[in-house]
């Protein structure tokens, strides 16, 4: 296990792939100490190998499990002398399809990971964050948290929740010296784009995106925005030009945005 040795530190969930992995690599490259946490232990081992064992600690973490959180934060604190510069609540899951095709179990899974997982993380990490001058929480939301996304209804609802939690806690924690921000990406080239209405489903969200010719941004862009979210003065950080355009449209042209989304629906089976 690595030791922080006076460096700034970031605790990352969903670190085995996608935005979490790219962010871990970027922060480590900029001399930060990184905590790598995910349910994918093989993926974590590969990321740890890439950034160097002396630059990180890692452990399996199911963000739905508060005992897992307590153990992970304890491990991280032992490596960083009780400090945490940034908590990056990044782990997220989704299901893509018509609302009536989603099972109750799948809806529970999406809500538990995307909302309860973030809340669990803030609760577990708060003591370390309070003891670290200039600390910050960065929560991964989504452009789907700006305007409700069809065929992603429950996923979208969770990202609205993350957005609201971020805004509330940024105010609430202002008198204890902790900033709270969010990363709000457009479609990023990560495994979550392969979400279907169920595990192993033939219909994937990525197929629809390609058919519609929509932009998909590289994961490195999201990692750079995560860096900005960890350092900048804004609350929400949009990743990708389409994310910025959607935020503008949701604010000033919501009717037009709704009609645009309706045209993408296609027929029900």
Instruction: Report, as residue numbers or ranges, the catalytic residues.
Output: 155
253 contact partners, CB below 8 Å, separation of at least 6: none
Assess contact for 1 and 32: CB atoms under 8 A: no
- Give the C-alpha separation, 140 to 157, whole Å: 14
Q: Residue 84 half-sphere exposure, CB side, CA atoms within 13 Å?
A: 29
CA distance 162 to 114: 8
The closest of 171, 154, 9, 10 to 92, measured between CA atoms, is 154
For the stretch 27-40, what's the b/e string if a residue is b when 16 or more beta carbons lie within 10 angstroms of its beta carbon? bbeeebbbbbbbbb
Quote the CA–CA distance of 159 and 144 in Å, as a whole number.
6
Q: Give strand pairing partners of 237.
A: 183
Using CA atoms, how far apart are residues 14 and 24, in angstroms rounded to an integer?
A: 10
């Amino acid at each position: 296990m690595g030791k922080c040795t006076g460096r700034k530190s970031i605790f990352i969930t969903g670190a085995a792939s996608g935005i979490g992995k790219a962010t871990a690599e970027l922060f480590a490259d900029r001399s930060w100490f990184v905590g790598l946490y995910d349910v994918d232990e093989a993926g974590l081992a590969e990321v740890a190998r890439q950034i160097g064992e002396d630059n990180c600690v890692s452990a399996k973490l199911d963000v739905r499990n508060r005992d897992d959180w307590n153990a992970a934060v304890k491990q991280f604190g032992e490596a960083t002398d009780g400090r945490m510069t940034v908590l990056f609540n990044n782990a997220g899951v989704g299901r893509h399809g018509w609302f009536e095709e989603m099972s109750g179990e799948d809806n529970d899974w999406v809500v538990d990971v995307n909302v309860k997982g973030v809340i669990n993380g803030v609760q577990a990490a708060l003591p370390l964050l309070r003891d670290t001058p200039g600390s910050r929480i960065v929560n991964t939301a989504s452009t789907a948290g700006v305007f409700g996304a069809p065929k992603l209804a429950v996923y979208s609802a969770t990202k609205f929740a993350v957005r609201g939690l971020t805004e509330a806690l940024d105010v609430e924690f202002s008198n204890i010296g902790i900033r709270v921000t969010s990363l709000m990406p457009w479609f990023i080239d990560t495994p979550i784009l392969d979400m279907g209405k169920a595990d192993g489903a033939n219909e994937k969200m990525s197929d629809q995106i390609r058919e519609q010719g929509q932009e998909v941004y590289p994961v490195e862009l999201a990692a750079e925005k995560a860096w900005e979210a960890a350092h900048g003065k804004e609350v929400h950080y949009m990743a990708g030009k389409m994310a910025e355009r959607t935020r503008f449209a949701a604010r000033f042209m919501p009717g037009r945005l709704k009609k645009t989304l309706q045209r993408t629906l296609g027929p029900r089976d």
